[in-house]
């Protein structure tokens, strides 16, 4: 195949994948399956790896992000990102409209748009390519987060059409509600704290210094304002539609209004309909449509005179606290939940609300029977925000956090530095045991079909399954007589359990449910240590030398393997035939040229990220550690390496090699 043919195939794949991204993330109308998309992406990745001369920074393969940590540069906005004046009542909307009418003294239109509750972003395009993404910052300058922005698939890296040579488009980065809920479920399964709300998580994600981590967050982006010297139209709404034709995700939910009545109709409609959206909005933005009129109206010191935002009031429910339940999760964390008299809130009937933890209850000074205010706001789960102390009865009892587990009676503990109380009886506390089994059989873990929460509860209650290893001793004849199970269901469950023995080691490790060891961490640990036995024997230093493994995760792993019952469980699972080491093809070691050599990596590099160098060391038989010692064979030194590490290497007589020296080692 000629170079011309290769270049053509690569370009066709890029064009096709860009189009599929656009259809999926912008139009929400995919035409191929996820599997077919992945096949095309894998083919492009392979060709780009094989033919690096055809590298393109705008290739869809570059959206996975880099694991090189970066410090954000401050970039000055060409056009200041001023905040809008806020109003909370319709009288102030009328005042704004009348001020505009008086100042212009000619007909005008107002564009009403939804006010998205996320993180503002400014995107700069030159010659049809995304060159810069900048946060709002202080309005005058913000952080350059281009690498992070490029991981958001609804933001085009290249656009098509009759676009200006240079322009800026602004919008809001957000996380859809369903994606946020899914992300939190996965964090809870991994024993991690759930995120508080989509808005803060979106804003925090943009500020992560590792774009590969950003790529794993379900970020999306609406664009709603075009700026530049050579815009296609003098009308804001027409510019939005033009930008839509270039490939930008422009919201459908806006309206060009010619009167106050139309504006109020739009506001009243969305004050109710907002609860049907899959993302959060907290108000309506009003903008004068004509850009020339915008220029005539100008700005105050802080706000444009041609725009204003109307903020919805956070809807509150007023109801009675009946009681408080304390729920025990898979990790043993005890969560208090308020039981309320039913109240209508944000389009739904609310009967329960989160109370978070003991400190939260104490801060509210909550009493049983209190009249309380409940909000949804930006939260997914309703929460109590205030107590009507004046309505409290004098004989009411304060809510006290329990001291013993409500399920097994074990005294609760509160680890230093944490807000939650835990039941330490992980071996026999029923919700913890059943929760671990449910996690073990889940799709991303062992993927055992036919076993849901109800069936696990049933198997536990009749003493057939007391831990995950018991699953591998089940027989169809034991299952057939059980309620809701017949011969077909029983045999399907046993068949799926048998199939799970083929699940690779990284997923088995994730399935064990070690606290803080989620799906990604489990993969990193599996590829770093190769087997459960080597992981079991790893020291804290060896664990923290693995990328993204900090002190907390390392200590959790050591604690898990120090428990003899966990070791016994693993031995039983080994005898059942589960995979507890990487297969030879999974290890994918290409050579043992670095066998027995220990490396420390420091600084930044030109050709590889730090993670890539670590992976190469492991693939070629070497070992990574985080700190220098007399046992270190080489220090791989990049730019901006700390002087203390350099001095220590010289003092210990450790050879200091460059990235180029390291590459030559691999070629030997």
Catalytic residue numbers read 115
Which of 205, 206, 122, 124 lies closest to 157, judged by CA? 124
Helix ranges (H only) for 51-121 are 90-104
Q: What are phi and psi of 623, to 5 degrees?
A: -135, 140
Which of 82, 169, 67 lies closest to 128, judged by CA? 169
Q: Are 621 and 591 in contact (CB under 8 A)?
A: yes
**What single string gives the DSSP state of each residue in 625-655?**
-SS--TT--EEEE-BT--HHHHHHHHHHT--
Integer Cα distance of 479 and 498 in angstroms: 15
Q: What are the structure tokens assigned to 663, written together?
A: 């590459």
**Which residues fall within 8 angstroms of residue 532, CB to CB, at 6 or more apart?**
505, 509, 570, 580, 581
User: Which residue's entry shows tokens 């041609």?
Assistant: 306
Angle between helices 198-206 and 177-189 (to 10 degrees): 80
Element (H, E) at 245: helix 236-246
Torsion sign across C-alpha atoms 485, 489, 494, 500: negative
Integer Cα distance of 137 and 39 in angstroms: 40
321: β partners: 340
* Long-range pairs, 19-26, Cβ under 8 A, ≥24: 21/60, 21/153, 21/154, 22/156, 22/247, 24/153, 25/153, 25/154, 25/220, 25/249, 26/154, 26/247, 26/248, 26/249
Q: What are the structure tokens assigned to 238, written together?
A: 């027409």
Q: What are the structure tokens assigned to 369, written together?
A: 């029977």
Q: Are 375 and 318 in contact (CB under 8 A)?
A: no
Strands 307-311 and 86-87, bridge-based pairing: parallel
């Amino acid at each position: 195949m000629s170079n011309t043919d290769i270049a053509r195939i690569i370009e066709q794949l890029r064009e096709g994948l860009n189009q599929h991204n656009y259809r999926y993330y912008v139009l929400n109308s995919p035409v191929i399956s996820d599997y077919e998309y992945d096949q095309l992406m894998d083919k492009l990745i392979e060709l780009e790896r094989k033919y690096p001369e055809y590298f393109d920074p705008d290739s869809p393969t570059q959206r996975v992000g880099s694991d090189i940590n970066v410090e954000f540069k401050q970039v000055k906005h060409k056009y200041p990102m001023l905040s809008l004046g806020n109003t909370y009542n319709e009288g102030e909307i009328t005042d704004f409209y009348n001020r505009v009418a008086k100042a212009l003294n000619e007909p005008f239109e107002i564009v009403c748009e939804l006010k998205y509750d996320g993180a503002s972003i400014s995107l700069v395009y030159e010659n049809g390519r995304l060159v810069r993404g900048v946060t709002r910052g202080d309005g005058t300058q913000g952080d350059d987060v281009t690498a992070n922005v490029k991981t958001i698939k609804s933001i085009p890296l290249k656009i098509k059409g009759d676009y200006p040579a240079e322009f800026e488009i602004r919008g809001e980065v957000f996380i859809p509600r369903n994606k946020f809920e899914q992300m939190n479920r996965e964090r809870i399964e991994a024993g991690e704290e759930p995120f508080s709300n989509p808005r803060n998580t979106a804003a925090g994600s943009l500020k992560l210094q590792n774009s590969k981590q950003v790529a794993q967050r379900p970020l999306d982006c609406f664009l709603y304002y075009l700026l530049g010297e050579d815009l296609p139209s003098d009308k804001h709404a027409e510019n939005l539609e033009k930008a839509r034709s270039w490939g930008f995700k422009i919201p459908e939910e806006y309206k060009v209004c010619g009167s106050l009545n139309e504006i109020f109709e739009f506001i009243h409609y969305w004050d109710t309909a907002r609860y049907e959206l899959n993302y959060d909005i907290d108000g309506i933005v009003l903008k004068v449509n004509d850009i020339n009129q915008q220029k005539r109206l100008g700005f105050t010191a802080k706000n444009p005179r041609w725009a204003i935002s109307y903020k919805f009031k956070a809807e509150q429910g007023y109801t009675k606290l009946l009681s408080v339940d304390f729920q025990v999760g898979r990790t043993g964390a005890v969560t208090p939940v308020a039981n309320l008299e039913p109240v209508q809130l944000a389009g739904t009937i609310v009967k329960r609300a989160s109370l978070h933890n003991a400190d939260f209850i104490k801060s509210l000074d909550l009493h049983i029977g209190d009249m309380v205010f409940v909000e949804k706001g930006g939260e997914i789960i309703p929460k109590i925000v205030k107590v009507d102390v004046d309505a409290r009865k004098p004989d009411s009892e304060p809510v006290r956090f329990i001291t013993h587990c409500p399920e097994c009676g074990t005294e609760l503990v509160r680890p230093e530095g944490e807000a939650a109380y835990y039941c330490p009886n992980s071996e026999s506390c029923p919700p913890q045991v059943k929760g671990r089994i449910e996690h073990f059989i889940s799709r991303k873990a062992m993927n055992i079909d036919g076993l849901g929460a109800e069936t696990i509860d049933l198997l536990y209650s009749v003493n057939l399954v007391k831990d995950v290893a018991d699953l591998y001793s089940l027989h169809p004849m034991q299952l057939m007589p059980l309620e809701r199970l017949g011969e077909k269901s029983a045999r399907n469950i046993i068949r799926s359990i048998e199939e799970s023995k083929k699940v690779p080691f990284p997923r088995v490790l994730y399935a064990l449910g070690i606290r803080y060891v989620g799906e990604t961490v489990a993969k990193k640990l599996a590829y770093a240590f190769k087997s459960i036995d080597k992981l079991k024997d790893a020291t804290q230093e060896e664990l923290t030398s693995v990328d993204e493994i900090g002190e907390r995760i390392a200590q959790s792993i050591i604690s898990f393997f120090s428990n003899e019952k966990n070791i016994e469980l693993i031995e039983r699972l080994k005898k059942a035939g589960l995979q507890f080491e990487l297969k030879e093809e999974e290890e994918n070691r290409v050579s043992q040229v670095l066998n027995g050599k220990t490396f420390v990596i420091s600084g930044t590099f030109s050709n590889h990220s730090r993670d890539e160098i670590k992976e190469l060391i492991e693939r070629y038989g070497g070992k990574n550690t985080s700190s220098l010692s007399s046992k270190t064979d080489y220090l791989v030194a990049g730019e901006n390496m700390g002087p203390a590490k350099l001095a220590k290497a010289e003092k210990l007589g450790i050879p200091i090699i460059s990235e180029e020296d390291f590459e030559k080692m691999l070629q030997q």
